[in-house]
Chain A
Amino acid sequence: MNGAQHILEAFHRHQIDTVFGYPGGCIMPLYDALVDSVGIEHVLCRHEQGCALAADGYARASGRLGVCIATSGPGATNLITGVANAHRDSIPMLVITGQVPSALIGTDAFQETDVLGMALGIVKHSYLVTDPAELPAIMEEAIHLAQDGRPGPVWVDIPKDILLTDIPPTAMAPITPVATAPCAIDEALALLSEARRPLLYSGGGVSLAGAEQAFRQFADQAGIPSVVTLKGIGNHSRHDPYHLGMLGMHGSRGANLAVDACDLLMVVGARLDDRATGKLDGFAPNARVIHIDADAAEFNKLRKADIALNGDLGSLMQAFTQATSGTPLAIGDWQQQCQEWRATKGFPAADNDEPEAPISGPAFVRQLSRITGDDTVIACDVGQHQMWVAQHYRFAHPRHHLTSGGLGTMGFGLPAAIGAQFACRGKTVINVSGDGSFMMNAQELATIRRYRLPVKLIIMDNQCLGMVRQQQELFYGNRESQINLDDNPDFVAMARAFDIPAISIQRSDQIRRGIETILAYDGPMLLHVAIARQDNVWPIVKPGASNGDMLDEHTQRHQNMSAGQTPTEHPTSSASSAQAPKRNAKENAA
């Protein structure tokens, strides 16, 4: 059995049945071994970045390990963004790359790059295999490490000669996770019982730990009002009466008000990042903090924790549920206040009843949320549409919302949707993208075509880089710089070139029919949605400002009026003034 066959053996041992890759010179021995392998589906993407992001989407949607494979040199460097994306969002990923033969390392050989050195800062761990005999143990350890504790990408770089070397079969005992001693939660319980305005603040760590059920049970039983980070969306039931939605830069006013007012912040599986907290000095100024996380290095990193609990989130949440059972918290007034905020300080509704009106982003996402089922997986890209989805789509489960949180990778959505469709073959998977993001990995339309994946593709096209344009408008004196994309391709024709049917809509009264058409179609289909260029994401906190200093459409208009500027136009307020994109303006039947 050669090195390449040992890798496949490790895949079999760990029930890894789907991998995303792209062949090339130094990884050819592995691709040769794949010819004879049974039970492993290799998904050929059209760019290595697509491979890594598809593996990421596969892992996010399923909770399983995502695997991507590439060759040395450019193959490996093309993976970098996708691996960094997984690292920033703690996604379990195994990265396999071929390297030039051992004797050529360090000679500037053809397609040689020091990928071990390059990737140090974007992996949980990485290996350069130097001794063939160590390969089986390294594979075992890499697969374990990627999923253990706080997950992350683990990269194994293997010289071509080692892939070809005969290595005796090795009996590999699975690595058993080190059991962590259960934390004492008594002090945390004491803080909780004393608090009159406690707030649950949860993030992506909940689903990464597989603790969704235990977390919801605690939240439902305790009735503590709650907010979530971008990656924590879906942690709470859609019907949780005390849930205030996403906090932070584009969070709801109610969520940020609650953080401001709370006297105890119970942070679960979140790392208090700057997009969520805003200026730290002004964040939860009156609160004591209980921080619960799988990674002890997150404690006191940005905000001092009064109590830090390190361990398995599922077990800890169960312990809290048991301990608080039968002793309701005395927080009735606070619950009432948060319910009122939930009703009045949520994300502004944007439905437009005028049939001829241009489509607004929030209105479109709200319709999408109403029409699609609870089991739908949405893979977003990065930009305004991403925030509209986070604000207006009502997710039933955190694994249904695939979004690039930490790295903010434009081009994430399409390959992530491909990975998710392989992970959830029976589910509806929708890529909601913007025109800027979509073009960053548009080559993966060929992957959808090749595997006849029934992924639904939605492009919200405002013919510009909307989020950059919005910040230039608000924070850079409306000086637009390099955001214009009005020479976008005809997306409908582009999809059709990949044999994917497509339609385009541009008026409010076409939204429902457009969504229903792509959902009803048996196979992949693209919906091009022309939206107004000047749509903004509201509310917004200026980068570096406190969450209390949120701007919304009304405050901004008032400021503009005071300064003698023309108010920002918005399609919901002035249908006739909004300029919808002209390209693709004609509705095309599939």
Chain B
Amino acid sequence: MSQPDQHRIYCEMNPEPAAIERLCQVIRVRGFEVTGMNAELRDGTWEMALTLKGSRPVAMLQSQLEKLHTVNRVHRMPAVAAAQRA
């Protein structure tokens, strides 16, 4: 098992009931752990910045999140540098 990497993603979602639960569930089921979250409801859209930890390719998670009907956009941000993590 390789060492888990840290990833940062940014999501925009419609504020439907359970939208955040749905997002977090997909993240967990697809093999990632949320280590940081910043969410704000702005102009009728959830804007979320998430820091994740996981060994699987994050592109796979991105494609699963993009399938969610409530999710409008998923953007991968530059990975957290090793020095920053330390």
A contacts, CB < 8 Å to B = 116-117, 120-121, 124-128, 130, 145, 295-297, 299-301
Are B18 and A126 in contact (CB-based, < 8 A)?
yes
Contact A117–B63 (Cβ < 8 Å): no
Residues of B within 8 A of A299 (CB): 63
Contact B66 A297 (CB under 8 A): yes
CA distance A127 to B67 in the complex (A): 16
Q: List 14 A-B contacts (CB under 8 A).
A: A116-B18, A120-B22, A121-B25, A125-B68, A125-B70, A126-B18, A127-B16, A130-B17, A295-B67, A297-B60, A297-B64, A297-B66, A299-B63, A300-B60
Question: Which B residues are CB-close (under 8 A) to A301?
Answer: 60
CB B59 to nearest CB in A, in angstroms, measures: 8
Report B37 CB to chain A, min CB distance, Å.
18
The chain B residue sitting closest to A116, CB to CB, is: B18
Q: Bound state CA distance, A118 and B11, in angstroms?
A: 23
Question: Which residue of A117, A124, A145, A297 is within 8 Å of B18 (Cβ)?
Answer: A117
Bound Cα distance A257, B55 (Å): 33
B43 within 8 A of A: no
A447 to B25, CA, bound (A): 37
Interface string of B27-59 (1 = CB under 8 A from A): 001000000000000000000000000000101
Measured between beta carbons, the chain B residues less than 8 angstroms from A120 are: 18, 21-22, 25
For residue B59, which residues in chain A have a CB less than 8 angstroms away from its CB?
300
A residues in contact with B85, CB < 8 Å: none
CB distance from A136 to the nearest CB of B (A): 16
Main secondary structure of the interface of B (DSSP, over half): helix
Task: Report whether A297 and B63 are in contact in the complex, using a CB–CB cutoff of 8 Å.
Answer: yes
Which residues from B are CB-within-8-Å of A126?
Answer: 18
A121 to B66, CA, bound (A): 15
Is B21 within 8 A of A117, CB to CB?
Answer: yes
Task: Point out the residues of chain A lying under 8 angstroms from B25, CB to CB.
Answer: 120-121
Other contacts beyond A125-B70, A300-B59: 20, CB < 8 A: A116-B17, A117-B18, A117-B21, A120-B18, A120-B21, A120-B22, A121-B29, A124-B69, A125-B68, A125-B69, A127-B17, A128-B18, A295-B67, A297-B63, A297-B64, A297-B66, A297-B67, A299-B63, A300-B57, A300-B60
Residue ID in chain A nearest B59 by CB atoms: A300
Give 8 closest A-B pairs by Cβ, nearest first: A297-B63, A125-B69, A128-B17, A116-B18, A120-B25, A120-B22, A297-B64, A297-B67
A145 CA / B64 CA spacing, docked (Å): 16
Residues of the A chain whose Cβ atoms lie less than 8 Å from the Cβ of B68:
125
Which residues does chain A contribute within 8 Å of B60, judged by CB atoms? 297, 300-301
CA distance A117 to B18 in the complex (A): 7
Residue from A116, A124, A127, A297 with most neighbouring chain B CB atoms (10 Å): A297
* A296, B63: Cβ atoms closer than 8 Å: yes
In the complex, chain A residues whose CB is within 8 Å of the CB of B64: 297
Query: Could you tell me the distance in whole angstroms from the C-beta of B62 to the nearest C-beta in chain A?
Result: 9
Report Cα–Cα, A124/B64, bound state, in Å: 11
Bound CA–CA A121/B22 (angstroms): 8
Report Cα–Cα, A299/B70, bound state, in Å.
22
Complex Cα spacing A299 to B63, Å: 9
Docked complex Cα distance between A173 and B63 (Å) = 30
| Chain A nearest CB, measured from B18 CB (Å) | 5
A146 to chain B, nearest CB (A): 11
Chain B's closest residue to A141 (CB) is B69
Q: How far, in whole Å, are A88 and B4 apart by their CA atoms in the complex? A: 28
Report the Cα distance A116→B70, complex, angstroms.
14
- A127–B16 Cα distance when bound, in Å, is 8
A88 vs B17: C-alpha distance when bound (angstroms) = 23
CA distance A10 to B3 in the complex (A): 51
Measured in the bound complex, the distance between the Cα atoms of B69 and A126 in whole Å is 9
> Which residues of the partner chain A approach B22 to less than 8 Å between Cβ atoms?
120
Q: Which residues of A contact B57 (CB under 8 A)?
A: 300
A125 to B66, CA, bound (A): 13
Whole-angstrom CA separation of A84 from B51 in the bound complex? 30
Inside 8 A of A125's CB, which chain B residues have their CB?
68-70
Docked complex Cα distance between A297 and B64 (Å):
6
Alpha-carbon distance A358/B61, docked complex (angstroms): 52
CB distance from A162 to the nearest CB of B (A): 13
Which of A121, A128, A145, A297 sits near B69, CB closer than 8 Å?
A145
When distances are taken between beta carbons in the complex, the residues of chain B under 8 Å from A128 are: 17-18
Identity of the chain A residue whose Cβ is nearest the Cβ of B70 in the assembled complex: A125
Residue of B nearest to A129 (CB): B17
Residues of A within 8 A of B70 (CB): 125
Contacts of A121 in B (CB 8 A): 25, 29
B66 — which chain A residues lie within 8 A by C-beta? 297
CB distance from B16 to the nearest CB of A (A): 7
**Separation of A124 and B22 alpha carbons in the complex (Å):** 11
A236 to B22, CA, bound (A): 38
In the bound complex, how far is the Cα of B43 from the Cα of A335, in angstroms? Answer: 61
